[in-house]
Structure 1
Amino acid sequence: MCIFFGALLAPASKRPLPWIEFLPPHHKLVALSSHIQKVNKWLIRIDFNQKWYAANTLEISGGSLPLEGRGRPGRSTARPEKNKRQENDNQDIPRHRRAGNDSDVRPSPGILGGVTLGYGSSNISGVTQDITTRTFDGRVEVAFGNGLSFGARYDRIDASVDGVALDLTGDMIGLDLGYAFGNGFAVGLYNEKAKIGIDGVPGSISARSYGLEASYETQGLDFGAFYGRKSSDLLTGVDMNDYGITMRYAMNDQLELGGNFMRTRLSSGGSSVDFDMIGVAGSYAFSDQWTAFAGINRASVDLASLDITTIGLGVSYDLSSMANFPGIASLELARTDLDLGGSSGSIDTVRIGFTIPFGANANKVPLNSVADSIMNPSHAVLSSTVLSAF
């Protein structure tokens, strides 16, 4: 150790170093190894007890690095490479996935998203037949670098009941256009359409939502709110409004939390019915490969005394280190409890998924999970409830 420190304090001409920089006012010398990508592991700090180090240049791999001033702490003209988390957070990451930035939080040009193919098996209490579900969930957001961003999502579920010939299908497509001002505030427009039908049966039930959304982000904490209108071919003459608040917080490189509260209100003739949903979720990365995730939400209808509670717990494994392409395998156990006027039932579900992410620092929580339906909800209570349960 003493020999190592002595080498650092030797004259510059005898000790080529890839990086040396002063950090005033503490007068510390920072030496980074040539493995810059591992800066967090190789960072070395030496306190000179207020003694100034005088030098004009330091030898660096055959060249020289000028230092500001002589006989006083200075800063080199080059800048240390950011750690991996900070670097990725400002590249190709839309506002709801980036850590905070004090100066300008506009996303750089790029694409972020993913696709999850899912399969689930559900058992309903008191019923011998199981429900088999096949799901497709896709999401993409494109940032143009000038504050503008465009997002799209598509979710599909095909459900079949053992012994029943007809299959139930559900689709939801969403589009949004946003603008980030660069000071943490962002605004946007959204449009969503959800549809439910039965294979082989003409016609379907659909609903369309459109509205405004806004968000504020600072230091990894993101608050959002939205308000919109809804129309349905089933409920003519009924006014329907969607509104809610969302929150996400990236505590560090490993832990991320999220939550939301949403309400869909149906009103006609002076009376109204509220569909409410509240949920919390989180994910924790144990390593570069393993990530655990969990979520719980509760949906309720005040008029019918109906409560639907879904909880999910799962793990995912990043296969990119074993293959030549990105891929994430996941397993989740979920349970949905239904309570209607004192009568209750439950649905136990096992889900598996395979996710193909794209973009820098893509999320490792599968898109077919309870946690994702809470941290990245749709703008309607009914569709978010279905996505959580199945």
Structure 2
Amino acid sequence: MSLKTNIFMGALFASMPLALCAQDAGGAFTLGYGASSVSGPAGDLSTLSLDGVGNIALNNSFNIGLYGSFRSVDENNTSDDLAASDFGFTLNYQFLNGVVLGGYLDYAKLDFGSFATDFDTTSYGGTVGYVTNTFGAEAFLGGTETSPDLAAGVDWVDYGLNLRYVVSPQARLGGHIMRSDISVPGGTDVEIDSYGIGGDYAFGNGWSGFGGLSYVDLGAAAVDATTFGVGVGYDLGQISRLPASVSLELSRTDISAPGADADVDTLRLSLTVPLGNRPSTTPLNSVARSAMAPRHNAVSTLLESAF
């Protein structure tokens, strides 16, 4: 286990005793299966996913957020599985006037099987925001380190803005704008931009709908990916004592690259289970969720929305 991983896990477990002082706590997890059809010579994909979020609100206005995800992607033409995982937490302090100050730490890993060397990132930074009962805004600025390390002198900086708005007790909207700026001394900088918007609506009698759209542009590489998805969910509590909801989502990712365009159509079946005081929510593995509550760098956000 790497030193950065040890630091991350140590910080995560060190925050757990604070739950004993919690005034309010809740969370959810989503288990999903996706079947994807890929255009061109590439084989179809099947994806198993597990996502989770947690929130601990302390008596002294401190708030701890925990989140994580795991993706296992099976490419049907090969015997190798690709895997992606990320874990993170935030620590915020909310003042009486609604201003929020905080910080974040994210760790993500890509396992390419026998195709290439594994790659992991550690992102960290600070946040400033403002929240009310119906509106929330958060700006962040931070950096990302990688393993294997980037070339000497290369810096990776992340910054962006997340917005959330409660339209009514039944409807929510959210979106983000962010950039991961990888500067190369004496070379061409890599600017990865991510934009997203999503929302959900509770129709009543246990039925809900959700949808999202995200766009990632790799700038100088002339590569971009557009993902959109729509889905419907049903609260199983309407017909049983099971506190969970099932959902079905249809999404498409259009990848545009010089001479290598591709479309990935995915049908995703999910089960979402709320924890603590959190109600049944939009599935955590949906395009809508990745647009409304993105990670803190554009690469991780792209993986969350596409798979």
User: Please, what is the CA RMSD of the aligned residues?
Assistant: 1.7
1:249 pairs, out of 165, 178, 181, with 165
The 5 A counterparts of 1:69-88 are none
User: Structure 1 residues 342 and 164 mapped into 2: Cα distance closer, same or farther (>3 Å)?
Assistant: closer
Equivalent residues in 2 for 1:301-316, closer than 5 Å: 301-316=218-233
Q: Distance in 1 between matches of 2:71 and 2:127?
A: 26
Partner of 1:378, secondary structure, is coil
> Aligned in 2, Cα 1:146/1:256: closer, same or farther, shift over 3 Å?
same
TM-score (ref. length: structure 2)? 0.88
C-alpha distance 207-128 of structure 1, shift in aligned 2 (>3 A): closer
Counterpart Cα distance in 1 of 2:183 and 2:115: 30
User: 2:180 aligned with 1:264, yes or no?
Assistant: yes
Deviation at 1:225, TM superposition (A): 0.6
Q: 1:301 deviation in Å? A: 1.1
1:285 aligns with 2:202: yes
Structure 2 counterpart of 1:362, one-letter code: P
Residue 190 of structure 1 is matched in structure 2 by 104
Q: Which residue of 1 aligns with 2:32?
A: 118
Give the whole-Å Cα distance in 2 for the aligned partners of 1:137 and 1:265.
Answer: 27
* Higher Rg: 1
Give the Cα–Cα distance (whole angstroms) in 1 for the partners of residues 264 and 116 of structure 2: 29
Per the alignment, residue 215 of structure 1 pairs with: 129
Query: Secondary structure of the residue that 2:66 maps to in structure 1?
Result: strand
Query: Looking at both structures, which has the greater relative contact order when contacts are Cα pairs under 8 Å and sequence separation is at least 6?
Result: 2
Per-residue CA distance 1:52-78 (angstroms, 9 max, x = gap): xxxxxxxxxxxxxxxxxxxxxxxxxxx
Name the SS of the counterpart of 1:251 in structure 2: strand
SS of the equivalent of 1:146 reads: coil
Q: Contact 2:121 / 2:147 at 8 angstroms: preserved in 1?
A: yes
Q: Distance in 1 between matches of 2:294 and 2:279?
A: 17
1:214–1:359 Cα change, 3 Å: farther
Aligned residue for 2:256?
339
2:240 and 2:283 map into 1 onto residues whose CA distance is 19
Letter in 1 for 2:163: M
Distance 1:266 1:200 in 2: 27
Identity of aligned residues (%): 36
2:18 corresponds in structure 1 to none
Q: Distance in 1 between matches of 2:195 and 2:232?
A: 23
CA contact (8 A) 2:243 2:280 kept: no
* C-alpha displacement of 1:349: 0.4
Alignment partner, residue 163 of structure 1 = 77
The 8 Å contact of residues 316 and 364 in structure 1, kept in 2 or not, is answered as no
C-alpha separation between the residues in 1 aligned to 2:212 and 2:265?
Answer: 15
Pairwise CA distance, 1:274: 0.4
Q: CA deviation at 1:325?
A: 2.9
Q: Which residue of 2 aligns with 1:373?
A: 290
Cα deviation, residue 202, structure 1:
9.4
- Measure the CA separation in 2 of the matches of 1:325 and 1:228: 41
Corresponding residue to 1:152 among 53, 66, 69: 66
Matched to 1:214, the amino acid is: V
Please, which of 245, 258, 262 is the counterpart of residue 328 of structure 1?
Answer: 245
Secondary structure, counterpart of 1:366 in structure 2: coil
**Counterpart-to-counterpart distance in 2, 1:215 and 1:377:** 15
Matched residue count? 283
**How far apart in 1 are the matches of 2:209 and 2:173?**
12
Pick one of 235, 244, 253 that aligns with 1:318: 235
Contact kept? 2:139, 2:159, Cα under 8 Å: yes
1:131 aligned partner, one-letter code: L
Contact 1:291 1:364 survives alignment (8 Å): no
Q: CA deviation at 1:200?
A: 6.8
What amino acid is the match of 2:168? Answer: N
Q: CA deviation at 1:129?
A: 2.3
Contact kept, 8 Å, 2:129 with 2:139, in 1: the verdict is yes
- Tell me the CA shift for residue 174 of structure 1: 0.5
Deviation at 1:120, TM superposition (A): 0.3
Unpaired segments of 5 or more residues in structure 1? 1-107
Corresponding letter in the other structure for 2:217: S
In the TM superposition, what is the alpha-carbon distance from 1:273 to its structure 2 partner? Answer: 1.4
1:300 aligned onto 2:225: no
CA distance in 2, matches of 1:281, 1:141: 21
Q: State the alpha-carbon separation in 2 of the partners of residues 301 and 201 from structure 1.
A: 22
Whole-angstrom distance in 1 between the partners of 2:65 and 2:305: 21
Does structure 1 conserve the Cα–Cα contact (< 8 Å) formed by 2:235 and 2:280?
Answer: no
Q: CA deviation at 1:374?
A: 0.9
For 2:16, the equivalent position in structure 1 comes to none
Name the structure with the higher strand share: 2
In structure 2, the residue matched to 1:236 is 151
Partner SS for 2:123: strand
Partner of 1:101: none
Aligned CA distance change for structure 1 residues 343 and 359 (closer, same or farther; 3 Å) = same
Partner SS, residue 149 of structure 1:
strand
The Cα of 1:168 is off from its aligned counterpart by 0.6
Matched with 1:58 is: none
Alignment of 1:89-104 (within 5 A): none
Taking the aligned partners of 1:255 and 1:202, their CA distance within structure 2 comes to 43
